[in-house]
Amino acid sequence: MRVLRKKPTRKIAPVIAARLNRSFSLHMQADGSIAAALGHYTVNLGQFSAAAIERAGHLASGLPLASFAGKSALARQLHALVQRLARHGLLEYRLSSPREARDLVVIEPQVAEYWPQPAKLGNGDTIVLSRFAYLRRRGNEMVLESPRAGALFRICDPAIAATLAALSQPQKISKLRRHATSLNLDLLGLLLDSQMLIKLNAKDGDGLRVNEGDGNLVLWDFHDLVFHTRSTEGRHADPVGGAFTYAGAVPPLPAIRPRWPGEKIALRKLSTPEPISPVAKLLRERHSIRDFDDQHPVTLAELAQFLDTTARVLSEWKNGANFDGGPEVTYSARPYPSAGSAYELELYLAVSNCEGLARGFYHYDAGAHALVAIDASAQQLQALSTAAEFAMDAPGPPQVLITIAARFGRVSWKYSSIAYSLILKDVGTVIQTFYLAATDMGLGGCAIGTTNIDLFAKITGLEFHVESPVGQFALGRGKTPLAAS
């Protein structure tokens, strides 16, 4: 009897097209210029030829990347326009089958530089999902995300989700091609480029935790890396800070907790309302200062004293790790407490106005009690200061902006599950130490709740999972309040 062979299904490569963010519309002006607009907010994109303006109209539904990949004048103009839109975070990229209008996948960039560039994959390659990739419901959509990825992928076709599930185990491309009806190499290449997938070498076994990335990445728990990238700026496109997103649906909680019904023991008659010690006085005087006196900035000598008081290494010691065969571990003692005595926090100073110290970016070497200059462009320094000014709603930049960065592995080498939360608690101890020392010295400061991990990575060249910001503090000499008339 003749065996009937299943005819291999011919897979057609999807079209990758750039599409304008749904909230924006393009406005073509009579003088040949194009602007993207959302209400009163507009982004000017430059001047273009009539042909480019006509083609740009297709950005509302999707302009295939291949249509402007050539070298013609029109292709170059469209490429420039699309790049400008991308840099402003105004584009998404749709993957669709040439036969159907519906989206298969929509890629939403999370970092400004993202550009869809499928990595090369061949039949002999073996791939597996990154342990940091996760599928979740967002509104009524299914999204594939990863803290390592520069983009998120909206999965619009359930068959693709099924193939992603199969990739929880390593799969050879040749085998996947035979079994997965809806997957194709371009999408896999895009997922590989975004580090949603990893390619395995023979020595990588099943691509488990120790086979993905360097030692610094191996130490990260999944939830901690998601927390780090989502609670800072730079690696996601969601609103950050006081957005009052659900204020219409949920009322605010009261400033003071409603009392428990139990017996009340009054303490007022046992303590004095006036501070009775220098520490109590300092605690009472401490407050945030956001407006600095730029005619009389903080001096280098004051900065040296401030860092000595708050952050200098006081002593160093060694101890065995407390497990059998563990290596000897070095420790230090500093003025503030630190979980596990890890002292993983590093201070980086963006100096805008300090008498005796040049404007620039510096690392505080806490062991040597010294500042070490790091090359940073004027634009990068400006971006740091402007973000701090904005976060504080301040009238000018901080004289010294201290970025508190963490060497994550110093804590996660020992602690599972709680590493990142310990680091944030350590940041709290440093911030209060800064506030008290600044108050004591007649200086002023303010904690800042947001920080851009991508900007810091660009300035320092340090990857965001190795050493990256977890807090900020603005320091300077506060303006003397005008006496009440």
Ligand X SMILES: Cc1cc2nc3c(=O)[nH]c(=O)nc-3n(C[C@H](O)[C@H](O)[C@H](O)COP(=O)(O)O)c2cc1C
User: Please, which residue, 290 or 414, has the CB nearer to ligand X?
Assistant: 290
Q: In the range 360-399, which residues lie near ligand X by CB under 6 A?
A: 391-392
Backbone phi, then psi, for 183, in 5-degree steps? Answer: -100, 150
Pick from 349, 447, 453, 470 the residue near ligand X by CB under 6 A. 447
User: Please, which residue, 146 or 352, has the CB nearer to ligand X?
Assistant: 352
User: Please, which residue, 348 or 473, has the CB nearer to ligand X?
Assistant: 473
Beta bridge partners of residue 318, listed in sequence order: 330
Those residues with Cβ within 8 angstroms of residue 301's Cβ, 6 or more apart along the chain or in another chain: 356
Min dist CB 444 to ligand X, Å, is 10
Q: In the range 290-349, which residues lie near ligand X by CB under 6 A?
A: 290
Strands (E), 130-191: 134-138, 141-145, 151-155, 171-172
Can you count the helices (H) and strands (E) in the chain?
13, 21
Min dist CB 391 to ligand X, Å, is 4
For residue 233, give the DSSP letter: B
User: Please, which residue, 177 or 290, has the CB nearer to ligand X?
Assistant: 290
Q: Which amino acid is at 443?
A: L
DSSP string, 200-231: EPGGGTT--GGGSS-HHHHT--HHHHHHHHHS
* CA 26 to each of CA 22, 45, 64, 84: distance values in angstroms, whole numbers, following the listed order: 11, 10, 17, 13
Pick from 78, 164, 196, 446 the residue near ligand X by CB under 6 A. 446
Give the range of 51-59, 326-334, 447-455, 456-464 binding ligand X by CB under 6 A: 447-455
Helices (DSSP H) in 277-369: which residue ranges?
278-285, 300-310
Min dist CB 343 to ligand X, Å, is 20
Distance CA 349, CA 362 (A): 5
User: Please, which residue, 215 or 449, has the CB nearer to ligand X?
Assistant: 449
Q: x-or-dash pattern for ligand X, window 253-292, by CB under 6 A?
A: ----------------------------------xx-x--
Residue 89 region by backbone torsions, left for phi larger than 0, else alpha for psi between -120 and 50, else beta: left
Min dist CB 354 to ligand X, Å, is 21
Q: In the range 118-137, which residues lie near ligand X by CB under 6 A?
A: none
Min dist CB 333 to ligand X, Å, is 25
Distance CA 412, CA 219 (A): 6
User: Please, which residue, 131 or 477, has the CB nearer to ligand X?
Assistant: 477
User: Please, which residue, 299 or 432, has the CB nearer to ligand X?
Assistant: 432
Size of the site for ligand X (CB under 6 A): 11
Min dist CB 240 to ligand X, Å, is 10
Treating both helix axes as pointing N-terminal to C-terminal, what angle do 419-440 and 300-310 enclose, rounded to 10 degrees? 130
Those residues with Cβ within 8 angstroms of residue 236's Cβ, 6 or more apart along the chain or in another chain: 110, 229, 230
Distance CA 262, CA 426 (A): 34
User: Please, which residue, 95 or 447, has the CB nearer to ligand X?
Assistant: 447
Q: Does 448 bind ligand X (CB under 6 A)?
A: yes
Q: x-or-dash pattern for ligand X, window 414-443, by CB under 6 A?
A: -----------------x------------
Q: Which of 79, 86, 99 is nearest to 14 (CA)?
A: 99
User: Please, which residue, 33 or 288, has the CB nearer to ligand X?
Assistant: 288
Beta bridge partners of residue 350, listed in sequence order: 361, 401
Give the range of 117-125, 294-302, 364-372, 448-456 binding ligand X by CB under 6 A: 448-456
Binding residues for ligand X (CB under 6 A)? 287-288, 290, 391-392, 431, 446-450
